[in-house]
C-alpha cells in the first residue's frame, strides 16, 4: 500500500478543508458538504473527473446557496451555485471563478471583492487565508487526535 502522508495530512488537518475556496483554474464547482446541498441529481456511473494522475467518480450533482451578510445592509445576499459536483472525499470545497464569470460575476483581484455587472456594490469581500482566496471561511471546530503506527519490515 502506497500512502502519501502529505495528502492525508492536508485532507484531514488543513485549516481550510471546510471552507469554500475561489479557484480561477477550475471549470467546475466541487463540494463535500452534503448537508448544504439541495435538488440532488444522481450522477451516471460513468461520470468522472480527472484528478491528479487518475480519475474520481462523481457521486452526484446538486445546487448550493452561499449567503453573504453585508456590513451595510441587514438583508443577506445569496450566491446560487448550480450543478455543483458532490464528492465526499475531495480535500476542499471549490468555487470556480470561470463559472462565476459566466454568471456576470467579476472578481477584482486588486480590491479582493466580487461584484456583479448589475450592481456595483460588492457582493462579497474575499479574504486571503493561508495563501488561498476564500469565498466562505468555515473554521474547523473539531480537535483531532492521531496515532501513527509504524512497522519495521
In a domain, 118, yes or no: yes
Number of structural domains (the chain) is 1
Give per-residue pLDDT as tens, 8-49. 445 556 788 888 888 888 888 988 887 788 777 888 888 888
Integer-rounded Cα Rg, in Å, for the chain is 18
Q: How far apart are CA 25 and CA 146, in angstroms?
A: 33
The three grid cell numbers given for residue 64, joined into one nine-digit string: 448550493
Residue 13 lies in a domain: yes
Mean pLDDT of the chain: 77
Is residue 75 one of the residues assigned to a domain?
Answer: yes
Residue 71 has pLDDT above 70, yes or no: no
User: Is the residue at 147 inside a domain?
Assistant: no
Kindly report the CATH number assigned to the domain that includes residue 122.
Answer: 2.40.70
Whether 144 is covered by a domain: the verdict is no
Has residue 152 been placed in a domain? Answer: no
Cell of 129: 487565508
Helices vs strands, H then E, count in the chain: 2, 13
Q: Against a cut of 0.85, is the pTM above it?
A: no
Q: Which domain holds residue 10?
A: 5-136
In this prediction, residue 99 has a pLDDT band, given cuts at 50, 70 and 90, of very high
> How far apart are alpha carbons 25 and 14 in whole angstroms?
21
Could you tell me if residue 116 is inside a domain? yes
Amino acid at each position: 500500500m502506497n500512502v502519501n502522508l502529505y495528502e492525508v495530512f492536508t485532507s484531514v488537518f488543513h485549516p481550510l478543508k471546510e471552507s469554500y475556496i475561489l479557484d480561477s483554474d477550475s471549470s467546475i464547482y466541487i463540494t463535500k458538504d452534503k448537508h448544504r446541498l439541495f435538488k440532488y441529481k444522481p450522477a451516471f456511473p460513468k461520470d468522472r473527473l480527472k484528478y491528479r494522475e487518475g480519475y474520481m467518480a462523481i457521486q452526484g450533482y446538486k445546487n448550493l446557496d452561499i449567503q453573504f451578510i453585508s456590513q451595510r445592509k441587514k438583508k443577506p445576499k445569496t450566491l446560487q451555485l448550480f450543478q455543483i459536483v458532490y464528492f465526499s472525499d475531495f480535500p476542499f470545497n471549490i468555487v470556480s471563478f470561470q463559472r462565476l464569470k459566466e454568471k456576470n460575476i467579476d472578481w477584482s483581484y486588486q480590491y479582493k471583492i466580487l461584484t456583479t455587472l448589475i450592481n456595483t456594490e460588492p457582493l462579497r469581500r474575499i479574504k486571503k487565508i493561508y495563501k488561498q482566496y476564500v469565498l466562505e471561511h468555515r473554521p474547523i471546530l473539531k480537535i483531532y487526535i492521531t496515532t501513527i503506527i509504524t512497522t519495521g519490515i
